[in-house]
Chain A
């Protein structure tokens, strides 16, 4: 148990620690910083689009830089590190081991992130988080683009080191009395997502090197003028980053598997189906990357294969949803803040998945491709499901980290504002896409429907921003002055269920 604020230590004790709870805490603090920085960019983007024409952002290049860094920050510096933080904190406890398998490697993986963070933010590249060739090779201004490439390279290595650590910890360090099949589903979620990283990430590492050497003029892999193929970059990119979607969402599903049984006062309905669905998702995640590329002139056969591969994720996702519903069935549900977030996450997960099924049907993809529909779809996943699961889990683990309770009233206010805001923003973006508005535009023609929907979306985004501000004040205030938590059972749910309380930090004995 860390309880940093009750038993304070000098900050460098934590910074140079290799203990899994300390590194988990560092991951969480860094990821929340990234959340607020990336979120601030999102609010600026939405204010810009409140009216047609330039509003608060000077020009389209600056706008491009802002949404590039917004996407890069929230995917690579918020969602992934947050999941790693929770995994570091809980996985060793769940598999009953004293620490991660390689504690020093664990610390190295974390400390690679701040330099990468600095490279991404100080460069402020403009080529979207995809860095598609040939623009990224021929026209993207340096050194911003090169800094982004180096930053992502470092983040990729960090992810691989972290994934190796999780896989070895879970497979080789678990207690002999704990069969892998009985390991908690949160641990399973980290095992499957780490395996995906190990298979997927090297491809993007190669693509980044090729991009960099192309930019330096050493090679011409993606330059069509001399026989290079920019579409090849898209294949390399999406071979990594479609599975990466599951790397983001699988830990969030693992969070829900912890919260829902706990607050329903029941065990999970089917542990084995949860494991099966995780493994199935990990496999099919590699069968669908080219559904992002239907519009690049792929053959009918290729498109059919990737459409079927994409739809294969539906049964596995449905198994998770129905596992959650079946767990709640017959329970005695307490609607504390973590459970509110979990239920909101389930509802939006289903909506995001339904939109994805429409996208994956290749004839229909042509009406939604590169429109605001796509923006609404993937934001519904990353915000509506992954961030909702993450917020819920942060409230869940908060008493165990700080020894104090957060304000339940403000936690629920944060949830309500975020849920209403998310529905206003991301559902409306789907409709706006059907009305024809393209994504990644700084300005748009003054079509009344477009203006009205953009304004509605911006108001929703402001609700999300207000919710985030409430969240920030709540966690800072409650960390210092919140009511002391009953560490055996902070929510009065019955049962002595929980792992974090048992975390032993050797520093606390000094």
Chain B
């Protein structure tokens, strides 16, 4: 199987792995802020909703980046795009399996 090893793309994957970890760390912080006593959950309702909106903000920002990338990719690399050219793999047998 031939694989593409473009350095820019490798960096982007590394960047997104780091971003994924950055999502986990704040979640842990929220968890550690939680009490363990029964009956406290309702008392902390406002705090929990606050955390919810903060996490949704993070999720929407990352979602916008990923979805935006996906939309740009399908617009830019569609075969009817004026700048579309055959990929370097076409006609070489590299796509045969």
A interface residues with partner B (beta carbon < 8 Å): 182, 184, 261-262, 264-273, 299-300, 303-304, 307-308, 311, 314-315, 318-319, 321-323, 325-335, 343, 346-347, 350-351, 354-355, 357-358, 360-364, 366-367, 493-499
Given contacts A267-B94, A304-B31, contact A328 B73 (CB under 8 A): yes
The answer to whether A330 touches B66 (Cβ under 8 A) is no
List 8 other contacts, CB 8 Å, given A273-B13, A350-B63, A357-B59: A314-B23, A328-B77, A347-B70, A358-B55, A363-B30, A493-B95, A496-B96, A498-B97
Chain B residue numbers with a CB within 8 Å of A357 are 23, 27, 55, 59
In the complex, per-residue mask of B44-74: 1 if CB is within 8 Å of any chain A CB, else 0: 1001110110011001001100110110011
- The one of A322, A327, A493 that contacts B12, using a Cβ cutoff of 8 Å: A322
- Give the complex CA separation of A328 and B73 in angstroms: 7
Q: What residue in chain B is nearest A299 (Cβ atoms)?
A: B36
- Give the complex CA separation of A362 and B55 in angstroms: 12
The answer to whether B77 touches A333 (Cβ under 8 A) is yes
The answer to whether B95 touches A358 (Cβ under 8 A) is no
Chain A's nearest CB lies how many Å from the CB of B96?
Answer: 5
The answer to whether A322 touches B48 (Cβ under 8 A) is no
Chain A's nearest CB lies how many Å from the CB of B83?
Answer: 10
Chain B residue numbers with a CB within 8 Å of A331 are 77, 87
The answer to whether A495 touches B69 (Cβ under 8 A) is no
- Give the complex CA separation of A307 and B26 in angstroms: 12
Query: Can you identify 18 A-B contacts, CB atoms within 8 angstroms?
Result: A266-B4, A267-B1, A267-B4, A267-B94, A267-B95, A269-B9, A271-B1, A299-B36, A311-B23, A314-B24, A318-B17, A319-B13, A328-B77, A330-B77, A347-B67, A350-B66, A362-B31, A496-B96
The answer to whether B20 touches A269 (Cβ under 8 A) is no
Q: What residue in chain B is nearest A339 (Cβ atoms)?
A: B74
The answer to whether B89 touches A265 (Cβ under 8 A) is yes
Chain A residue numbers with a CB within 8 Å of B24 are 308, 311, 314
- Give the complex CA separation of A364 and B87 in angstroms: 46
The answer to whether A315 touches B17 (Cβ under 8 A) is yes
- The one of B9, B30, B79 that contacts A333, using a Cβ cutoff of 8 Å: B79
- Give the complex CA separation of A332 and B81 in angstroms: 9
Q: Does B39 sit within 8 A of A, measured CB to CB?
A: no
Given contacts A269-B3, A315-B21, contact A363 B34 (CB under 8 A): yes
Q: Does B82 sit within 8 A of A, measured CB to CB?
A: no
In the complex, per-residue mask of B1-32: 1 if CB is within 8 Å of any chain A CB, else 0: 11111100100110011001101100110111
The answer to whether B95 touches A495 (Cβ under 8 A) is yes
The answer to whether B28 touches A308 (Cβ under 8 A) is yes
Chain B's nearest CB lies how many Å from the CB of A473?
Answer: 28
The answer to whether B89 touches A318 (Cβ under 8 A) is no
- Give the complex CA separation of A264 and B87 in angstroms: 9
